[in-house]
Structure 1
Amino acid sequence: MAAGLNDYINEKFDITSKDIRTYSPLTLAYIGDAVYDLVVRSVLVNRGNTAVNNLHKRASAIVKAPSQAAIVASIMDDLTDEEKDIYRRGRNSKPHTKAKNASTIEYLEATGLEAVVGFLYLKGDMDRALNLIKLGLERNSLEL
Structure 2
Amino acid sequence: MENYFETTMTEDQLRAISSIGLAHMGDAVFEVLVRTWLCRHGKATGKGLHRATVGLVCAESQSEKARRILPELTEEEGAVFRRGRNAQVHSVPPHASRAQYGEATALEALLGWLWLMGRKERINELFCKMMEE
Deviation per CA, 1:79-108, whole angstroms, max 9, x where unpaired?
011111111011011112212311110001
Instruction: Report if aligned partners of 2:66, 2:107 keep a CA contact under 8 Å in 1.
Output: yes
Secondary structure of 1:19's aligned partner: helix
The answer to whether the 8 Å contact 2:20/2:87 transfers is yes
Q: Letter of the 1:128 partner, please give it.
A: R
Aligned equivalents of 1:96 and 1:53: distance in 2?
Answer: 31
CA distance in 2, matches of 1:100, 1:38: 24
- Decide which of 14, 30, 35 is 1:36's aligned counterpart: 30
TM-aligned CA deviation for residue 134 of structure 1: 1.2
**How far, CA to CA, are the matches of 2:113 and 2:122 in structure 1?**
11
TM-score of the aligned structures, taking structure 2 as reference length: 0.86
Letter of the aligned partner of 1:108 in structure 2? G
RMSD: 2.3
Choose which of 17, 21, 36 in structure 2 pairs with 1:23. Answer: 17
Query: Compared with structure 1, are the counterparts of its residues 60 and 49 closer, same or farther at alpha carbon in structure 2 (3 Å cutoff)?
Result: closer
Q: Deviations over 1:30-86 (max 9, x none)?
A: 110011001101222244595321111211221111111111111111001111111
TM-score scaled by length of structure 1 = 0.80
In the alignment, which of 57, 64, 67 is matched to residue 58 of structure 2? 64
1:5 counterpart residue number:
5
Q: Is this contact kept in 1: 2:111–2:123, CA < 8 A?
A: yes
Corresponding residue number in structure 2 for 1:106: 100
C-alpha contact 2:43 2:49 (8 A) present in aligned 1: no
Structure 2: segments with no counterpart, 5+ residues: none
Is 1:82 equivalent to 2:76 in the alignment? Answer: yes
Letter in 2 for 1:137: M
Distance 1:105 1:61, change over 3 A: same
Structure 1 alignment gaps of length 5 or more: 11-15
Matched with 2:124 is 130
Contact 1:36 1:117 in 2 (8 A): yes
Contact 1:98–1:107 (CA under 8 A) maintained in structure 2: yes
SS in 1 for 2:131: helix
Aligned length: 130
